[in-house]
Chain A
C-alpha cells in the first residue's frame, strides 16, 4: 500500500531501489537522447578518418583476401560451391557487426565512466545507441558484399537469393539482442574485475571459429560436432543468411527459435545484472 507520504515524493533514493520492470520504460523515455548519441557516434566516426566512408567499404575486402589465402588455398576448405569471395564476405560482414556490437556493449561502463560520473540517465541508453550506430557501418560493408555478389552474377554464375532473405531484419535483431545481452553481462562483471576484459577478448576471437564463418556448416560431417555447433546461437543466424543470400547452407526454424530463446535469456540476465551494477559501479570503476 502506498501512503499519502509516498505519493508526495517524486524521487526516492535508497541503497536498493532497482529499476522497475527492467527499467525499460525509463530507457524509452530517453529515446531522443539515444537518437543524439547515434548521430554523434556516426558523425565522429567519419570526421576522424582519412578515407572517410571508403574505409568501411574496403575493410572487409582485406579480411576476405586473407581468408581466401589461408582457409581457401592453404587449408583447402570448400565453400558449398559458392565463389570464395562471396562466401567469406557474407560471413565477415555479419560477424563483424556482431562482434563490434558485443565489444562496444561490453565496454559501456568503462568507456562512458566520465559522463556517468557526472550525470544520471539510464545507463542502458549508451549500449542501445551503439547497436544502432554500428548498423551504419554494417550497411556499408553489406554494399561491398552486394557489389562482389553482383560481379559474379554478371560473370554468369548461378547465384540466386531465396525467400529466406526476407528474414534478414530478424537476423539483425537477433544479433543485436545477443550482443546486448552478453555485452551487458560482461560489462557488469568487468566493472570490478578488470582482468575479465582480456578473457572475453580472447573468448570473442575464438568464438568466430566456433561459428560457420570460414567454413560451411555442411563441412562439419561429424554428427556429434555438428550437434554441438548448433548450440552456438550464432550458427543458425549465419547459416540462415547464407541460405537467404545464395541458397547454400542449412536452415531450420527450430535452430532459429533456439537462437531467439538464447537471446531472451541472455537479455534478461544481462539487464538484471546491469541494473544491479548501474547504481554503484562508479565507485569501483
Chain B
C-alpha cells in the first residue's frame, strides 16, 4: 500500500428512506426489530433498496443515494465530482464530512479534514461581523489562536472592514456570504471538502475566491466548484 493516499472509499453505500419519516416508523422499527433480532434474518429494509433515479417512480420506500463506491484520492490531487441533480454528490461529501454516517463500507482519510458544505454556518444576525468570524471559524474547526492570527487577513479578504463591528443582520446578503467565505478560505486544512459554495458573491469576489482556491495546493475534494467549471 502506497503511503501517499489521502482519502479512500471502500464499498461505501448510503441508503435513505423516502416519504414521510414521521409516520409508521414505530411500526417499521418494531417489524425490523422482530425480523432481525427475534427471527435472526437479514434486515429487509437494507435489501429492497433500488437505484436512485429521481424521474421514475419507484416501488420501494428506500433508495440508495450511493451504492458501492470505491475510489482513492492521492495527496496533492484536486478532484471534482460532477453529476446530475440527485446523483449523490452532496451525500458523498456529507459522509466524508461526518455530517451523517454511511450505511455500509469504510471511509479512511489521512490528514485534518476541513469541510465547507455551506458558507457562514452558525452566523447569527445579532452578532457583529467580528464575533461571527470567531464563531464560524471555531465551528469549522479552527482554534482560537488560528483565528486570532488570521483575523486581519480574513477581514481584508472579505472586504467588509467598514462593517466588521456591525451586527450581521444589517449586512447585505452578498456581504454575509463574502464574510462566510473569507473565514473558510483561511481554514487551511489538509483535506478540503467543498460543496458548491464557490458560486457566491459578485464577479469580482468570485475571481478572488477561485484564485484563493488555486493557492490551496493541498489535497482537495470538491463538487461542482466554481460556475466557470460548471459551464465548461
Contact = CB atoms under 8 A, between A and B. Distances in A.
Interface string B96-134: 111111111111111111010110011010110001001
Contact of A13 (B3, B17, B95, B122): B95
B172 interface: no
A119 B99 contact: yes
Contact of A15 (B103, B110, B122, B144): B103
A116 B122 CA distance: 10
Contacts of B141: 121
Nearest to A192: B25
A282 B14 CA distance: 13
B99 A118 contact: yes
Nearest to B117: A118
B173 interface: no
A47 interface: yes
Contacts of B100: 279-280, 282-283
Contact of A8 (B3, B127, B140): B3
Contacts of A9: 8, 108-110
A49 to B, nearest CB: 11
B220 interface: no
B108 A118 contact: no
Interface string A41-65: 0011001100000000000000000
B143 A32 contact: yes
Contact of B124 (A32, A40, A121): A40
B6 to A, nearest CB: 10
B139 interface: yes
Interface string A113-131: 0011111110000000000
Given A11-B109, A36-B134, A36-B135, A279 B101 contact: yes
Nearest to B1: A5
Contacts of B118: 118-119
B102 A14 contact: yes
A199 to B, nearest CB: 13
Contacts of B109: 9-13
Interface residues of A, number: 35
A17 B134 CA distance: 30
Interface residues of B, number: 47
Interface in B144-172: 144, 167
Contacts of A118: 99, 117-118, 121
A198 interface: no
A120 B141 CA distance: 9
B225 to A, nearest CB: 16
Contacts of A203: none
A115 B102 contact: no
Interface string B1-40: 1010000100000001100011001100100000000000
Interface of A: 5, 8-15, 17, 30, 32-33, 36, 39-40, 43-44, 47-48, 115-121, 192-194, 279-280, 282-284
Given A9-B108, A119-B99, 8 more contacts: A11-B113, A12-B109, A15-B104, A33-B139, A43-B127, A48-B126, A119-B139, A121-B139
Closest 8 CB pairs of A and B: A120-B98, A13-B107, A279-B101, A11-B109, A9-B108, A118-B118, A33-B138, A47-B126
14 contacts: A9-B109, A12-B109, A14-B102, A14-B106, A15-B103, A36-B134, A43-B126, A48-B126, A118-B117, A119-B118, A120-B99, A193-B25, A279-B100, A284-B21
